[in-house]
Amino acid sequence: MRTVDILDTTLRDGEQTAGVNLNTEEKIEIAKRLEKLGVDVMEAGFPAASKGDLEAVRKVASIVKNSSVTALARSNKSDIDAAWEALKNSAEPRLHVFIATSPIHMTYKLKKTPDQVVEAAVQSVRYARKKFSVVQWSAEDACRSDLLFLTRIVEKVIDAGAKVINIPDTVGFINPEEYGKIFTYLRENVPNIDRAILSAHCHDDLGMAVANSLSAIENGADQVECTINGIGERAGNASLEEIAVALAIREDFYQAKTNLKLNEISRTSQLVSRLTGIAVPPNKAVVGKNAFAHESGIHQDGVLKEKSTYEIITPELVGVPSNQLVLGKHSGRHAFKNYLSKLGFHPDENKVNNVFEEFKKLADRKKEMTEEDILALLIDHRIQP
C-alpha cells in the first residue's frame, strides 16, 4: 500500500472561486483546520498577487507546523522573491512555480517560442533552488500541450532542481483514460523522472476532476492537488473529500492511502463553506446534506435492516454523527414507525396504520415533512408518548 500526498489548494486555487475573498484571519482559521485534517502540503496563496496575500501567506506559514506550506509564483524573480518573503520562516517551505506549456498559452498569452518557455522554466527553477530546498514545478495547461514538448521540459526542470512535477488539467479538458496515459508516458520517457514525484491537479469543467485525479494515482501520481468542497476557478477543482474517501472505500482497487484524518472532513467542509460563502449542494458526494439521507421506503427499510444495503460510506468515517431517514411521500411504514419510536412514541399497530395513512396524505402535499408535522398528526390521533 503506498501513500499519496495531499496538496490542498483551498487557500489559493479555491480562493480563485468567483466572489470569494478570504482575509488573513479567515485563512488562518482554515489553515489550522487543514492541519488538523492532516494535509501534507497546503498552498496558502499567491504572494505576488497583493500585499494582503503575501501577509496572509506569511502568517499561515508561521503558524502551521505539521503540514508543509507552499505558495504560487510565476516564472520570474520578483514572484519567487515575494514567495520567499512569505515562506522563509515556515517549518517546511516549498515553492510552487509554473509556466504554461500548451501552444495556445505560449502563443497568445506568453508570446514566447517553446525554446524560450523551456529557458524561462529552467531559469526560474534554478533561481528558486537558491532559496527553497523544495521546488514544485507546474506545466500550466499541460493537458493541451504537446507530449514530446512536455517530456522535454519536464526533464530540463528536474535537471534544474525541481523535486515535484505537477501536470495540471488547467481547463478541465481531459478524460481519465487520457490523463492516466500522460502519467504513464512521463514515467516511462523522462530519463530522470525518478528524481521527482509526479502530481495531479484537475479542474472540473467537464465534471471529471475527481475521476481524472484517481486515474493519475492509478498511473503513478504520488501527489494530488485538490480543494475542500471542490471550490476553485470556474467549475472548481477536484474535491479533496471525494478523492480521499474514494481511496479509502476502494483501497482494494487503488492500493493507496492518504495521511488524512477522514473524520475531520465534515467539520472542515462546513468551515470552508461558512467562510467562503459558497454553499455545499445538498446532493454533493460525501459532504452534502443529503449524502447520508435516505428518503424512499425501500431504501429506508433496507438501511434499517442492514446499513450496508444502501450505505457504502459510514457517516462516522467523515465525522457525521449518523445517517438520516428523511420522511417524505416515498417513505415506508417501517421508517415511519422507527421515527415515532425515536420521538418516544410507541403506538399499537392499529394506531400506527391510521396515523401513517394521514401522514401519506400530508406528505403528498408537502415537499419536506418536519418533526412538527409528525407531532401534530400524533396529537390529532390522541397518541401519547
Contacts with ligand KIV by CB under 6 A lie at 13, 72, 98, 138, 140, 166, 168, 170, 201, 203
The least distance separating ligand KIV from the CB of residue 145, rounded to whole angstroms, comes to 11
Of 13 and 141, which has the nearer Cβ to Zn ion? 13
Of 196 and 340, which has the nearer Cβ to ligand KIV? 196
Q: Which helix (H) or strand (E) holds 207?
A: none
The least distance separating Zn ion from the CB of residue 16, rounded to whole angstroms, comes to 8
Number of H helices, E strands in the chain: 15, 12
The least distance separating Zn ion from the CB of residue 47, rounded to whole angstroms, comes to 17
Q: Which does 140 bind (CB under 5 to 8 A by kind): Zn ion, ligand KIV, none?
A: ligand KIV
The Cα-based distances of 196 to 166, 187, 224 in angstroms read: 10, 10, 14
Of 66 and 78, which has the nearer Cβ to ligand KIV? 78
Q: Measured on CA atoms in the order 293, 295, 297, 299, is the torsion positive or negative?
A: negative
Are 223 and 5 spatial neighbours (Cβ–Cβ below 8 Å)? yes
Q: Hey, which residues between 63 and 92 contact Zn ion (CB under 5 A)?
A: none
Q: Which does 43 bind (CB under 5 to 8 A by kind): Zn ion, ligand KIV, none?
A: none
Q: Is 169 in the site for Zn ion (CB under 5 A)?
A: no
Of 204 and 242, which has the nearer Cβ to ligand KIV? 204
The least distance separating ligand KIV from the CB of residue 112, rounded to whole angstroms, comes to 17
Of 13 and 53, which has the nearer Cβ to Zn ion? 13
What distance in Å separates the CA atoms of residue 41 and residue 39, rounded to the nearest whole number? 6
Q: Which does 172 bind (CB under 5 to 8 A by kind): ligand KIV, Zn ion, none?
A: none
Give the interface segment with Zn ion, choosing from 10-18, 95-103, 157-165, 210-218 (CB under 5 A). 10-18
Of 63 and 206, which has the nearer Cβ to ligand KIV? 206
What distance in Å separates the CA atoms of residue 24 and residue 383, rounded to the nearest whole number? 55
Give the interface segment with Zn ion, choosing from 6-14, 82-90, 135-143, 333-341 (CB under 5 A). 6-14
The least distance separating ligand KIV from the CB of residue 70, rounded to whole angstroms, comes to 11
Q: What is the DSSP string of 56-81?
A: HHHHHHHH--SSEEEEEEESSHHHHH
Q: Which does 98 bind (CB under 5 to 8 A by kind): Zn ion, ligand KIV, none?
A: ligand KIV
The least distance separating ligand KIV from the CB of residue 352, rounded to whole angstroms, comes to 56
* Four-CA torsion 152, 157, 162, 166, nearest 10 degrees: -50
The least distance separating ligand KIV from the CB of residue 344, rounded to whole angstroms, comes to 53
Q: Which amino acid type is present at position 145? A: S
What distance in Å separates the CA atoms of residue 323 and residue 303, rounded to the nearest whole number? 9
Report H helices in the chain.
24-37, 51-63, 77-87, 103-104, 114-129, 147-160, 176-189, 209-218, 240-249, 251-254, 265-276, 297-305, 333-342, 349-365, 371-380
Cell (9 digits) for 38: 492532516
Give the interface segment with Zn ion, choosing from 9-17, 262-270, 300-308, 377-385 (CB under 5 A). 9-17
Q: Which does 256 bind (CB under 5 to 8 A by kind): Zn ion, ligand KIV, none?
A: none
Q: Which does 258 bind (CB under 5 to 8 A by kind): Zn ion, ligand KIV, none?
A: none
DSSP helix/strand/coil, 213: helix
Of 201 and 284, which has the nearer Cβ to ligand KIV? 201
In the chain, what are the helix, strand and coil shares in percent, each to the nearest 5? 50, 15, 35
What distance in Å separates the CA atoms of residue 240 and residue 257, rounded to the nearest whole number? 13
Query: Would you tell me how many other CB atoms lie within 10 Å of the CB of residue 129?
Result: 16
Applying CB under 5 A, among 13, 15, 43, 204 the residue interacting with Zn ion is 13
Of 13 and 242, which has the nearer Cβ to Zn ion? 13
Indicate the DSSP class of residue 279.
P
Q: Which does 183 bind (CB under 5 to 8 A by kind): ligand KIV, Zn ion, none?
A: none
Q: Which residues bind Zn ion (CB under 5 A)?
A: 13
